[in-house]
Chains A and B, each alone.
Chain A
Amino acid sequence: MDASVSPSAVAEAVRITKKYGETVALDGAHITITPGEAHALVGRNGAGKSTLVSILTGLQEPDEGEVRFAGRPAPRLSDRSAWRERVACVYQKSTIIPELTVAENLYLNRHDHNGLRLVSWKSVWRKAADLLEAWSVDVDVRLPAKELNVEQRQFVEIARALSFGARFIILDEPTAQLDGAAISRLFDRMRAMREQGVTFLFISHHLQEIYEICDTVTVYRDARHILTAPVAELPQGDLVAAMTGEAAGLSDRHARPPVSAQAPVVLDARGLADGEVYAGVDLRVRAGEIVGLAGLGGSGKTELAETLAGLRAPREGTVEVGGRRPRAGSVPDSLAAGVGLVPRDRHHQGLIPLMSIADNATMTVPERLGAAGLVSGRRRDGLAREMITNLAIKTPGPELPVNGLSGGNQQKVVMARALASDPRLLVLITPTAGVDVRSKEFLLAKVEEIAGKGTGVVIASDELDDLRLCDRVLVMFHGRVTTELAAGWHDHDMVAAMEGVDLDA
């Protein structure tokens, strides 16, 4: 492996190790970025990309290893201005202040002053306009920054980075929120800037973009460096294999019995569309069937699943559950129609942390807790105890606050709540995120068990393990269902479909 110091590198990280408690975020990883190139960094979630970015931009110190810029050691972490002259990062999250003008955002805390030590706005505006013109960014510098769209905001942030003197720019998933035309404009601009001597580190989940814009690609997997190669010499199949790690074939999961074609349809969604988010989706799920919705962040799978569960209203199209048509965007109506939901993020939408397990688990079924809106503590705890046994939740009792549980057990509580109403249709969104392996297996087995009893299941996830138990998986890309894979697919087919690349191409 090439871990030696190369004096020609714009930036390099050598033998970097970073741990957060037990978790190893980077394990002896390295990267070398040469001047003028566009270097891609790819890897699946948790591969260590964001940790590397925060180390390369001086936000965090590595536990071991070294960062160099142009052959010289990196400045101290506290010397922000020295870092800013060497490297800049355009994060996914905006670092623009929406109420201030573009010009002021560009020159914040380094305003020009006039003879009276007052801010000279004319000079600030002129400098900002000159800066944007030098990099051909066509934005009125006197607009409040909140009026910029994502594309303009990114260009402004790039220009600001360049104005500090940095000629090495990290773009962290810049295309995630852009449409096709904006992406090609971004790439045009990246090419133009490279001609002016700017070097890029480009992070993206979309592999075809890497083939379009980058020269070199580095793959990380499980906190380690896997390979660095010129993009032109690396076929897409090999790149996907490097990212997924040649998963040891199919799991030993026993085949599920096929779903009878006579089984009643529990979910019938037709012509669902919501602007840019997703469009043209038809989906039918039969009783006992498990259907996967795969896709990366921004593919629209989460929003689609939320629409099915009544959390969002679609702009067009209808959702029918068990022959009823719940009011669009109404969770109570969907619940009544027989939808159970495990929402995307248990911390934000799933649980109320300080309330007890019993309160959390029975939240969807107040009518079973007592008459006339009153809650019988005994009945609630009894119900909760059933659930605790049923889902093997590890807890001394139902009265424990739910934030005292481990991640896996918290997720079981969320699942218990989804199941409390005996749903006809169970919608799960990333049901095993942040859950330990045993709980994960348990939860997935539970899903199969529920399906076996005649509930239709929809799983929206980008975790291959979640998708493996599905009878079929619809893969979404940029808001459209692009591929449908029957059970028994290979990992690389699934990943390629999610990344939007065609392996046969």
Chain B
Amino acid sequence: MPETTAAPAETGSPAPKGPRRPPAGLRLARLRDLALVPAIIAIAIVGQIVHPIFLQADNVINILQTMSEISLLVLAQTLVLIVGKMDLSLESTFGLAPGVAAWLTVAVGTGSGLGLLSGFWAIPITLAVGALVGVVNALFIVRFGLNGFIVTLGMLIVLRGLLTGISGGQTFFNLPESMTYLGSAMWLGVPASIWICLLLFAVGVLVMGFTGFGRSLYAIGGNVDAAKAAGIRTDRVLWITLIAASVLAAVGGLLLTGRLASVAAAQGDGAIFTVFAAAVIGGVSLNGGKGTVFGAFTGILLLYMIQNVLTLAGVPAQWIEALNGAIILTALALSRLTGGKTQE
């Protein structure tokens, strides 16, 4: 038996001897993972009909780049949801982490920059702020046993306020080059942020599917008592997950900052709704223990493809938001129909 090879869970290899029935459940699970693929193909066809540039490389890259930053929030939220918690504050971290870095590194005179540190420190500060937010969240949720929804709602407001406070409500410009590099560089003719996004999702798939740590997230979200009984150190896993999620949000914020070469005081504002919608459409349960990183990726991809189609179809910008909401509801209804079960 090739037990040393990283056999992906989805290989169609025959089941070990013994089973009398075909592994219908496994096939079902795999189908659920790919549930959005037909929808994505359908949208691609519709998009191509609406406008012939839809499937051209430039437009595809455009879609991927637009979604690359927010998709890291989706990845982060997926981890948190699978472990059975929620993190609303991700969207504020998305703005605050690069905001603090800009505040400390941008020279005095441009906006409200303090110019305390050299540009070299911008990325470490961004990541550190993300980690710190995660620590505070974990402290409240894990250590003090408070409800994650309400804790992170509080954090959402506090962090948003902090960014407004340090920036004076203004946008940070003239960022150090280290901050703008990742969001604007091209690697092999494709924006670096797309590579980073795809890489982090690949790591997510690997960790969640093929490491003991990733599986323990499913166990905790599925039945925390059973996870404890199996010897999983549940509190430690929760700490790591919450911190990792906030760091991912900080990275996402950094990418957006690089692309726009600025940090607006409202960066990330309202993104959390799209994030939740993408995760749920992608098959992640709000009750924990269920869903995959790949599914979440298809969720956010679908949402951004539809938006792109609407733009190409010439829908006026004022109507895009209303349509976005309608799309989310439609997608949820569709996933309810195809999934067959009540939405959790």
Contacts and interface: CB of A to CB of B under 8 A. Distances in A.
A115 interface: yes
Contacts of B15: 125, 129, 140-142
B25 A101 contact: yes
A118 to B, nearest CB: 4
Q: Chain B at the A interface: mostly helix, strand, loop or mixed?
A: loop
A122 interface: yes
B212 A122 contact: no
A118 B26 contact: no
A96 B6 contact: no
Contact of A144 (B5, B13, B29, B230): B29
B210 interface: yes
A455 to B, nearest CB: 40
B289 A97 contact: yes
A114 B215 contact: no
Interface in A52-94: 80-81, 94
A489 interface: no
B222 A122 contact: no
B219 A144 contact: no
A122 B219 contact: no
Given A97-B227, A101-B26, A120 B19 contact: no
Contacts of B206: 118
B317 interface: no
B21 A140 contact: yes
A108 B219 contact: yes
B238 to A, nearest CB: 15
Interface string B202-227: 00001001111001101100110111
Nearest to B2: A122
A95 interface: yes
Nearest to B233: A109
B6 A98 contact: no
Q: Which size class do B's interface residues fall under? A: 35 or more
Contacts of B336: none
A465 interface: no
Contacts of A98: 222-223, 289
Q: Chain A at the B interface: mostly helix, strand, loop or mixed?
A: loop
Contacts of B24: 143
Given A95-B226, A122-B1, A129 B211 contact: no
Output the residue of B1, B23, B25, B225 with the most chain A CB within 10 A: B25
Given A95-B223, A120-B6, A111 B215 contact: yes
A108 to B, nearest CB: 4
B4 A114 contact: yes
Contact of B222 (A81, A100, A129, A130): A100
Nearest to B7: A122
Contacts of A128: 16
A118 B20 contact: no
Interface string B114-131: 000000000000000000
Given A97-B227, A147-B25, A114 B216 contact: no
Interface in A101-148: 101, 104, 108-123, 125-126, 128-130, 132-133, 138, 140-144, 147
A140 B9 CA distance: 16
A114 B216 CA distance: 18
Contacts of B25: 101, 140, 142-144, 147
B188 interface: no
A119 B210 contact: yes
A100 B219 CA distance: 8
Contacts of B13: 122
B4 A109 contact: no
B236 interface: no
A123 B212 CA distance: 14
Nearest to A122: B7
Contacts of A188: none
A138 B21 CA distance: 10
B43 interface: no
A99 B222 contact: yes
B289 A111 contact: no
A97 B222 contact: yes
A119 B18 CA distance: 22
A129 B19 CA distance: 8
B5 A123 contact: no
Nearest to B16: A129
A95 B230 CA distance: 9
B212 A109 contact: yes
Contact of A109 (B2, B225, B230): B230
Interface string B223-265: 1011101111000000000000000000000000000000000
Contacts of B17: 129, 133
B211 A119 contact: yes
Given A97-B289, A142-B25, A142-B26, A118 B210 contact: yes
Given A96-B226, A97-B218, A140-B21, A109 B231 contact: yes
B16 A115 contact: no
B3 A112 contact: yes
Given A108-B219, A111-B215, A143 B4 contact: no
A96 B216 CA distance: 13
Interface in B1-56: 1-7, 9, 13, 15-21, 23-26, 28-29
A125 B16 contact: yes
Given A112-B3, A125-B15, A99 B26 contact: no
B227 A108 contact: yes
A109 B1 contact: no
Nearest to A123: B3
A144 B29 CA distance: 9
B29 A97 contact: no
Contacts of A100: 215, 218-219, 222
Nearest to A143: B25
B223 A96 contact: yes
A115 B29 CA distance: 27
A138 B20 contact: yes
A142 B21 CA distance: 10
Output the residue of A104, A113, A121, A133 with the most chain B CB within 10 A: A121
A120 B212 contact: no
A147 B27 CA distance: 13
Contacts of A133: 17-18
Contact of A129 (B2, B6, B18, B28): B18
Contacts of A141: 15-16, 18-19
15 contacts: A97-B226, A97-B227, A98-B222, A99-B218, A101-B26, A108-B219, A108-B227, A109-B219, A109-B230, A117-B211, A119-B211, A120-B7, A121-B9, A142-B19, A143-B23
By Cβ-Cβ distance, the 6 closest A-B pairs, closest first, are A140-B19, A97-B222, A129-B16, A123-B3, A118-B210, A143-B25
Given A96-B223, A122-B7, 19 more contacts: A97-B223, A99-B222, A108-B227, A109-B219, A109-B227, A109-B232, A112-B3, A119-B209, A121-B9, A121-B210, A122-B1, A122-B3, A129-B17, A140-B18, A141-B15, A141-B16, A142-B23, A142-B26, A143-B24
